[in-house]
Structure 1
């Protein structure tokens, strides 16, 4: 079978040209780019560039201003600072990289910041300082008019429709939508066909295609009662919880590694993923989950399990990428605080609060004082540890409650482990005690420290060397590239005692007979054929040493006897060429046979002692290995936050221009003034601890104007394709206005009346006629409402990357819902690093049968196929993913070995389950597209199967595999009508 066989040409043309018209929001994309500028670009420009390159600078460097979009495009003495869309041609990037001029001159910025500038320019360098959104920034005037701000629609109190009563015939959702349609004289579409509706419902609720059983039931009885029964089954399924957990993971910027400059492994992040799945399955009220994610560690808990869930939930605050190696720890702390404020603001309030770090918000009624009131809360929260500039910061895993029996087991095991390690350390110390210093051995001794090295040699850190302080080994690598030369000039002189000893000083004594010896540490992993060359003058002798075992006199091998004229240089070369196993070198010793050997007797005595000690050491090592293997499950931990110690819980000073070194007045901790009563003062608020518990309560207060609106809008967007407010993460001035304000408020009020139940809201929406409309276009309606803001038809939706992958696994019959406790278990502290000494490697692929939600998300190493299918960028909060539909995605699917593999498994199932060739087309279309094939589909398949290309393939399995792979890459497979 050939993986690269051509697909049916007509189908491939349809794939490449089948760009389906989908509702998009250009303004939403622009807003996302502006938010990126405000949070990632502007603060850097203010802190590092404005001093010399702004209208406030005493002398503008190089004639370049960087405080407006126009100025950056005009540039200075060297031309435009940026070329939108062209990173490498942008002078600003070149300067930041230190490729040309070096900016800022005080020191190169971290790589992560430079990558942010590259990403910003590549995306078009959107700059709100000359916004095209038609929104006028707040003028540079003292303060913000909060009372005027409270009149903006998003900050007004919720107002529910009086029609918030379920009718026996028409739901109140449909009534509110219908009233808008009637005003516009638009007749909405009727319900979609049965197959389309069931496929839409199944993917929207579970992220998976409908089961064969549900398709049979629905086709036999497409009634409202059957629809509701299927809805309830899907809501109760694990698949629903998994799918909707993945939705929130986009917002929570979920990842299993840190990314940035120090890609540390998040070994406990998976607990948060499982927390989401479990609580969504149980329909835990959304307001409770909000409180848990912000202040779970501070909430009361009646049981250990509740306490566990509360702690794990606060992982939400920890998941953002962090510049862990930042040496300015005060800046790092405030950068983390900023990321947490920005995330909480967007996720729960639809507000871009990060834009107020350096100045009053340019568009929304959020003064800097409100930002730093919130900053005091998060600054009083312990997120990272490691305040010294010498160290990379990290986080402290928070222990989770466990049983007393488990704690007792851990304590007992720790004690045994300590005893064994102490005994092993004592044995090692005794072995070292009896080691012979090189200078006390007879003859001339050249220790490994004096050897001339070629290639890579590693100093022993595991076993102690017998001669001197250590020994060298080749790490069993780079065979043929490593050698050691031990050089000595051999002479003999008389000692005062009358005995002979060896020296390197010349004299006139006659020729002496010498024995050459190589000292090493034997073992089963050593090489058995170590080549050793002895060169004395013009004579060269080659000896092979078996280092797996000791010599007759201990860990030493005789290299032979030599008659040497005094003053002659002797060179012993140890090589790893042609060896298999570790090559060891501890020392080379030349012993004169005509003289005394003062240390020999002591060597023999010490060897006996060392041999016994090594036997004891080996027993202890075995015991230690057994203890480690038999260790009880470790104490569970969470990547959670906790409050700082009481003395460190303080209000935060205002940072002028966002700079940590330019502090203003202290701002009392508090919330957004615009969401409070006009006469409410921040200074009147009181807090226990950091204030996160009070913040969580404030956010979930039924009178809060934003939280419930944002929550129901997110759920509506997931089901309908667009939010009532299309900018789901931005309810501010730069966001879009709601298409149905009364509907949004009615949904929010009813949501709270129903106990903030996600499942009840989903059920209400999918039971409506509005949800069940057909998606077909109408020239008349398009002329009035081309973007379908009035909901006269269903929006076509692109399946998320996870659903595309999971669907292929379902169709192939190999999807597993089994999760994995720690998907990063194979990694150490780092996944990868820009540091030169890192040996970590990334080996993650999507060739795994688990549902995609259970696969690790490694920042900087997202699989190419998922990236091509617009998986969420884990560096950012993503309320709504981009929904591109381009030929490149089809080509990525066609080029994927995994896709071909799943197509092959599906083809195998087809041939086994459907022996009748005439029924196979029906089976494939039902399985892959959840519909019956048309006459044109039948014709297209049969033309392919009979084509010369298909007939040249070895068998039916290959032909069907190619056809199914083409269907997987097709537009229809990826689109919900």
Structure 2
């Protein structure tokens, strides 16, 4: 007999290597695609805008011998060595320069912290850079012209094909038949069905995100028939939990958050309405194509009643949820950055296309010309996303009023009128008191406040630093140097100044008075040190330089000199920002006669009784006003929605050369993707009403569109099967993966559209299939031929999402609240202040809330540590499929969490209350925590724990079982779906 064991050993080594290397390659490919997209959307545009002028072949003289317009050049570096050290952000010269730690780049001003963090992340993850040109060839390298006709032959842009399998009415087996064809061709025998416990656990988490109850497990084990399976499926599909769980899936794609993040973490008080819109519409099985149209153009869609109008408006919050650099001073750039984020999100979410990669140039990989990008940009630029486009400082969005009842509107109007009357009465009372009381202080001499100055150029009114005269002070915003000035004019020694007679002297037989000129300002470290001030009195002119970084000897005052002035002499003080570095400030100019001058104060009545009566009346009005505010009707509901701009503001967008907002090219008519249109169709032939979003939404959901339905069904398939038919669910382009079952993908898409774009119907079809119900166990043959399970011969093991892990512990502990939550940011102001103790306590309270996780606030920059350790979605990004890791940090995070210990303790209390026998307690724990019956080995393991010295040293059974259940919560089996 021949011993084949060495052969088997070598075969197993080869198989194991093949499995490991193939899986690793798939992960590497997915990471590479994501990294390229990150570079193209977050890194390259910044390099083009801020660095190429001095560090590329376009520069007249390359600064420091450093080119930044190619991957190779960045690694070679310039005079100071390599610009980047891939994998080591802190050691990279580029990061040091961006942080202003060494050299300060760009010299025009430090980039926002969010942008610097993007560069740190890019370098830390390996500095993926698809630019293959060398510096010497950069200027001559041209992107090949896009061949749209050839692009239309790519699989994703071809028309959907109808399979013969769909020709059989009522045939529910066509999914299995199409999968089986691939398996037969590969000579793979698929697994049979998984065991009853595994299947029900899989179904419950996939459909509702929650574990099945112990009672439902018992009933299912008693009747694991196809008929009963259908009954259970239909019951889960009809539950609110289905809407909550599947809404959370889409919230990953919609980059949902309750705050803006970035450098200005503004609170999104109305975002929750979009969350609830998703839950109710997914639970109600609103057609997916209708939801797509609502999210892109709901504000423009017809509505038969107020409720539909309300839903349509709320849906457009989808376009508003991205993080925005609201403090960006260049508002044109801010507008285009928002437009870019919207185009990129719409492209990847609905069409699986990385359209953002065409902002600076034709798409490097896909048939998307730069002109197509700006055809879409015109549509979104004609949409009102921000209302602060003309503001100098922080922009914001415009809350859009939602329909409400007439009674509510009447109540608001009545309350508003009462409030107005009370405020008017309070203002009048304050004015009367002010008139009766003596002014506390007036400046001596003649004071010309900044409000009376003659302005040239741009000046900004501020009240930021206190101690100013009048209602505020002016500053030049440290911009537009050499172009701004202020003139303060007056006439000295006039009758109204009333100088004391002893200070009047004679010069050349004429009476004169000696006056001192003073400039008032608010000092500070960012002020200019060399502010030029010209003082002209009659025929005399003097130039004085003022250092505004510090106060003078008498306070925030600079003496401009003394002048002998005759009767009726004109005096002019001119302040300029010419040649200055830093903020130039002007608060007031004061003229004081030598020796001082008493101010002329017209004093009112000093009737103390009268003042007391007025104050009593004022306090009564304040009380009435406080009561009105307290008893106010609910405010007018608003949505964080978009609307079209006015007809005059609806415009086509010019191309931005290299993506630069101030380097404009040809204007492109608004339109769609050329590769998805007819060969003879061009943007100029399209007619739009308003911005064009309504037409865009209709075009995207047209049954002939090659991408939208494919992308939608692929996302649903991925959620149930663990992998998409196209594994790169957000990228159907050249850099994405090809479909494993292209005919099945098309058949699913066609059937999906034929049956009203019903999400629930598609989910039902998939979970009723044998393909879905397979066991997940491996086999030598299957692993050898198809280690990545692309042919679907077994079920994929799936990691539970972070929300399901948390919610499951609450269910098992008997503590899950099924209540929803309106505004989870209620109590927060305009900003989320992460350094504020009060804000931190609110965030902690939210984490300890026992509602489903979908209802808790998602605060950018403040993700709870437990959820972060469990790979919760990054709300800064569109996340079609979450990264899944299984590292020691996860069980450690679970074991170290005070919440997990609390829930384990509550579970232990339930166990000890409901069950007395130890063996039955083991069964109770395993059925509820792991949704299966314990094995003999499990019973033995628990017995050994309870009898161990460690357990016996604990004070009671509750503590012992709490520790054991916490360990079960932290275990891999709890977090994995077989």
Interval containing the TM-score (normalised by the shorter chain):
0.7 to 0.9
- What residue number does 1:843 align with? 842
Partner of residue 28 from structure 1, selected from 27, 30, 54: 30
Q: CA offset at residue 66 of structure 1? A: 1.5
Q: Report deviation, 1:971.
A: 0.3
Root-mean-square deviation (Å): 2.2
Please give the per-residue CA displacement for 1:532-589, whole angstroms capped at 9, x wherever unaligned: xxxxxxxxxxxxxxxxxxxxxxxxxxxxxxxxxxxxxxxxxxxxxxxxxxxxxxxxxx
Is 1:188 the counterpart of 2:190? The answer is yes
1:129 alignment partner in structure 2: 131
CA drift of 1:621 comes to 1.4
Name the counterpart of 1:374. Answer: 376
Could you tell me which residue of structure 2 aligns to residue 238 of structure 1?
A: 240
Structure 2: how far apart are the matches of 1:251 and 1:431?
A: 58
Task: Tell me how far 1:143 sits from its aligned partner.
Answer: 3.1
After TM superposition, give the deviation of residue 435 of structure 1 in Å.
Answer: 2.3
How far apart are residue 54 of structure 1 and its match?
2.1
Change beyond 3 A, Cα 1:439–1:299: closer
Equivalent pair of 1:831/1:841 in contact (CA under 8 Å):
no
Offset of 1:711 from its aligned partner?
0.1
1:45 to 44, 47, 51: 47
Aligned residue number for residue 643 of structure 1: 644
Give the match for residue 271 of structure 1: 273
Equivalence for 2:112: 110
- The alignment status of 1:758 with 2:759, answered yes or no, reads yes
Following the alignment from structure 2 to structure 1, what is the Cα–Cα distance between the partners of residues 747 and 144?
37
Cα separation, 2, equivalents of 1:391 and 1:818: 40
| Distance in 1, Cα, partners of 2:834 & 2:198 | 47
SS at match of 2:89: coil
Task: Give the SS at the match of 2:667.
Answer: strand
CA positional deviation for 1:895? 0.6
- Aligned counterparts of 2:798 and 2:102: Cα–Cα separation in 1: 46
Distance 1:664 1:264, change over 3 A: same
CA contact (8 A) 2:296 2:319 kept: yes
- The corresponding residue for 1:120 is 122
Residue equivalent to 2:458 = none
Q: In structure 1, how many angstroms separate the alpha carbons of the residues matched to 2:939 and 2:704?
A: 59
The 5 Å alignment of 1:158-173 reads: 158-165=160-167, 171-173=173-175
State the SS of the aligned residue for 2:286: coil
For residue 333 of structure 1, what is the aligned residue in structure 2? 335
- More off after superposition, 937-946 vs 913-922: 913-922
What corresponds to 1:973 in structure 2? 974
CA contact under 8 A between 1:83 and 1:90: conserved in structure 2? Answer: yes
1:193-204 equivalence runs, <5 A = 193-204=195-206
Residue of structure 1 in register with 2:878 after alignment: 877
Structure 1 position 349 matched with structure 2 position 348? no
User: Which of 389, 413, 416 is the matching residue for 1:414?
Assistant: 416
Looking at structure 2, the residues matched to 840 and 611 of structure 1 have their Cα atoms a distance apart, in angstroms, of: 41
Matched residues in 2 for 1:406 and 1:764: separation? 45
Distance 1:688 1:435 in 2: 61
What's the CA shift string for 1:340-383, capped at 9, x where partnerless? Answer: 00000000000000000000000000000000000000000000
- For 1:501, the equivalent position in structure 2 comes to none
**Partners of 1:933 and 1:838 in 2: CA distance:** 46
Residue 824 of structure 1: aligned partner: 825
The answer to whether the 8 Å contact 2:328/2:393 transfers is no
Bigger mean CA offset, 627-636 vs 105-114: 105-114
Question: Are 1:22 and 1:797, in contact at CA under 8 Å, matched by a contact in 2?
Answer: no
Deviation of residue 707 (structure 1)?
Answer: 0.1
CA 59–286 in structure 1, closer or farther in 2 if over 3 Å, else same: same
Kept in 2, the 8 Å contact 1:713–1:725? The answer is yes
Decide whether the 8 Å contact of 1:205 with 1:243 is kept in 2. yes
What is residue 786 of structure 2 aligned with on the other side? Answer: 785
Give the whole-Å Cα distance in 2 for the aligned partners of 1:840 and 1:649: 41
Check whether the contact 2:335–2:389 (CA below 8 A) recurs between aligned residues: no
The question of 1:210 aligning with 2:212 is answered: yes
Secondary structure of 2:164's counterpart equals coil
Does the aligned pair in 2 maintain the 1:237–1:281 contact within 8 Å?
yes
SS class of match (1:189) = coil
Distance in 2 of aligned mates of 1:114 and 1:842: 29
CA distance in 1, matches of 2:440, 2:104: 53
Q: Deviations along 1:693-751, whole A, 9 cap, x unmatched?
A: 00000000000000000000000000000000000000000000000000000000000
Shift of 1:85: 1.9
CA distance in 2, matches of 1:666, 1:937: 71
Q: Where does residue 616 of structure 2 map in the other structure?
A: 615
Q: 1:663 to 1:839 in 2, by over 3 A?
A: farther
The alpha-carbon distance between structure 1 residues 792 and 139, as it changes in their structure 2 partners (threshold 3 A), is: farther
Match of 2:861 in 1: 860
Partner deviation per Cα, 1:733-775 (whole Å, 9 max, x = no partner) = 0000000000000000000011000000000000000000000
SS class of match (1:163): helix
For residue 119 of structure 1, report the CA deviation from its aligned partner. 1.5
Is contact 2:89-2:123 (8 Å) kept?
Answer: yes
Residues 427 and 378 of structure 1: CA distance in aligned 2, closer, same or farther (over 3 Å): same
1:74 is displaced (CA, Å) by 1.8
Instruction: Say if 1:832 and 1:345 are closer, same or farther in 2 by CA, change over 3 A.
Output: same
Q: How does 1:250-269 map to 2 (within 5 A)?
A: 250-269=252-271
Counterpart contact for 2:348–2:731, Cα < 8 Å: yes
Q: CA deviation at 1:73?
A: 1.7
Q: Is the 2:23–2:788 Cα contact (8 Å) retained in structure 1?
A: no
Match of 1:358 in 2: 360
Work out the CA distance in 1 between the residues paired with 2:678 and 2:930. 54
Query: Contact 1:22–1:796 at 8 Å: present in 2 too?
Result: no
Q: Name the counterpart of 2:635.
A: 634
Q: Work out whether residues 436 and 606 of structure 2, in 8 Å CA contact, stay in contact via their aligned partners in 1.
A: no
8 Å contact kept, 2:252–2:873 = yes
Q: Deviations over 1:758-804 (max 9, x none)?
A: 00000000000000000011111111111111111000000000000
Contact kept? 2:299, 2:312, Cα under 8 Å: yes
Measured after TM superposition, the shift of residue 79 of structure 1 is 1.6
Would the alpha carbon gap of residues 424 and 168 (structure 1) be closer, same or farther in structure 2, given more than 3 Å must change?
A: closer
How much has 1:965 moved relative to structure 2?
0.5
Shift in Å, 1:841: 5.4
Asked if structure 2 preserves the Cα contact closer than 8 Å seen for 1:713 and 1:724, the reply is yes
Equivalent residue number for residue 284 of structure 2: 282
Report the counterpart of residue 571 of structure 2 in structure 1. none
Q: Counterpart of 1:807?
A: 808
Aligned to 1:94: 96
Q: Distance in 2 between matches of 1:607 and 1:947?
A: 84
Shift in Å, 1:917: 2.4
Distance 2:638 2:711 in 1: 32
Deviations 1:845-894 (A, max 9, x none): 31110100000100010101101100000000000000111111110011
CA distance in 1, matches of 2:910, 2:395: 52
Partner of 1:729: 730
Partner of 1:323: 325
Query: Could you report, residue by residue, the CA deviation over 1:86-139 in whole angstroms, capped at 9, with x for unpaired residues?
Result: 1111111110111111111121111111111112122222222259xxxxxx98
Kindly indicate whether the alpha-carbon contact (under 8 Å) linking 1:831 and 1:842 is maintained by their aligned counterparts in 2: no
Is 2:435 aligned against 1:436? Answer: no
For 1:122 and 1:359, the matched residues in 2 are separated by 26
Aligned match of 1:580: none
CA contact (8 A) 2:437 2:606 kept: no
Instruction: Give CA-to-partner distance per residue, 1:304-333, whole Å, 9 cap, x none.
Output: 000000000000000000000000000000
C-alpha separation in 2, matches of 1:435 and 1:863: 55
Query: What are the Cα deviations for residues 287-317 of structure 1, in whole angstroms up to 9, with x where unaligned?
Result: 0000000000000000000000000000000
Q: What does residue 396 of structure 1 align with?
A: 398
Determine if contact 1:830/1:840 at 8 Å carries over to the other structure: no
Shift of 1:168: 8.2
Secondary structure of 1:775's partner? coil
Structure 2 residue matching 1:831: 3-state secondary structure: coil
2:565 matched residue in structure 1: none
- Could you tell me how far 1:613 is from its partner in structure 2? 1.9
Distance 1:666 1:620 in 2: 59
1:77, distance to aligned residue in structure 2 (A): 1.6
Task: Answer yes or no: is the 8 Å Cα contact 1:832–1:842 preserved in 2.
Answer: no
Find the aligned partners of 2:219 and 2:834 in 1 and give their Cα distance.
53
Q: What is residue 660 of structure 1 aligned with on the other side?
A: 661
